[in-house]
């Protein structure tokens, strides 16, 4: 029996797309929880609804970037979760920094 780990198990049960979305929602939930801890948000506030489209968008962007970089599972799911945690502005800053370095 191949014991590939938690992400491999989730991937085999739900498939790659759902695994990517779980990673993205986990990343956004970690960021949201940090904001709650700092007192900037309530946990069950209307702001939580705005995290849904951000998580889906970051899942799409993260999966495309992971595929471009040739990352395989489970590394790509971790990459998506990291980008989702950073959010659109953080991912933009990371990409700009990486592109400037590549020149």
The three-point CA angle 49-46-94 to 5° equals: 55
Question: What's the whole-model pTM score?
Answer: 0.77
d(CA 79, CA 98): 15
∠ CA 82-86-90, nearest 5°, is 130
Per residue in 42-92, pLDDT (tens digit) is 999 888 888 899 999 999 988 998 999 899 888 888 999 999 999 989 888
How many structural domains does the chain have? 1
Query: How confident is residue 1, by pLDDT bands cut at 50, 70 and 90?
Result: very low
Range of the domain at 55: 3-101
Q: Which long-range contacts (CB under 8 A, 24 or more apart) does 70-76 make?
A: 73/7, 73/8, 73/11, 73/16, 73/19, 74/4, 74/5, 74/7, 74/8, 74/11, 76/20
């Amino acid at each position: 029996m191949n014991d590939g780990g938690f992400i491999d198990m989730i991937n085999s049960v739900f498939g790659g797309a759902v695994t990517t979305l779980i990673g993205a929602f986990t990343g956004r939930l970690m960021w949201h929880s940090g904001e709650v801890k700092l007192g900037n948000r309530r946990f069950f506030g209307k702001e939580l609804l705005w995290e849904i489209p951000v998580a889906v968008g970051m899942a799409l962007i993260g999966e495309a970037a992971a595929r471009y970089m040739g990352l395989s599972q489970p590394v790509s799911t971790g990459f998506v979760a990291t980008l989702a945690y950073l959010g659109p502005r953080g991912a933009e800053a990371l990409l700009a920094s990486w592109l400037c370095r590549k020149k």
